[in-house]
Amino acid sequence: MQVNPPQYDQSGYAPSPQAGYGFDQVVHSQPVGGTTVVVQQPIVQSKRGWNTGVFDCCDDCGICLFASFCGLCFLCQLSSDMDESICVACCVPTPVLVLRTKWRTQNNIEGSICDDCLMTHFCGSCVACQLAREVKMQRQNIAYQMR
């Protein structure tokens, strides 16, 4: 019985069967005499919580006031800060839900789409402020790291 050896890319590594399934790193393997040896195990990244609570609006009163008195401008700015088109704020029926779900999945934050739906439906303004605080914190962290 003949076993077909794995196909290797230009770097000499075989593609991982787990690639793209929530692993932080790709499993790298090296050929050794017709046998594939795993040289790096995948690291499963655990989910984290939000940095601030939904009702911590007083943590950044500027965001809270902006959202309260100029909601559409606030959503346009939030969309822009998240590298989305401002059309998300104007044309999408539930912009806060869309932006929150995007942010949560991109940043590996605990939760589900059902949680996002319930939170944005019942506490939309507070959720939008929480999201804006998260985006602001990340932007500040990036600016700090670039110094």
Structural domain spans, the chain: 1-45, 57-145
Query: Tell me, what DSSP letter sits at residue 16?
Result: P
pLDDT at 73: 94
When pLDDT is averaged across residues 53-76 and rounded to a whole number, the result is 92
pLDDT band at 43; cut points 50, 70, 90:
low
Residue 67: what residue type?
A
Encode 136-146: b = buried (16+ Cβ within 10 Å), e = exposed: eeeeeeeeeee
Q: How far apart are CA 46 and CA 19, in angstroms?
A: 17
42 vs 93 pLDDT, higher one: 93
pLDDT band at 39; cut points 50, 70, 90:
low
When pLDDT is averaged across residues 76-96 and rounded to a whole number, the result is 93
- pLDDT, tens digit, for every residue of 97-141? 999 999 999 999 999 999 999 999 999 999 999 999 999 999 888
pLDDT for residue 54 is more than 50: yes
pLDDT at 110: 93
Any idea of the CA torsion for 58, 62, 67, 73, to the nearest 10 degrees?
-170
pLDDT at 38: 64
When pLDDT is averaged across residues 69-83 and rounded to a whole number, the result is 94
Angstrom CA distances, 23 to 10, 46, 123, stand at 22, 10, 33
Q: Which tokens belong to 147?
A: 């110094």
Cβ neighbors of 86 (< 8 A, separation 6 or more) are 76, 79, 80
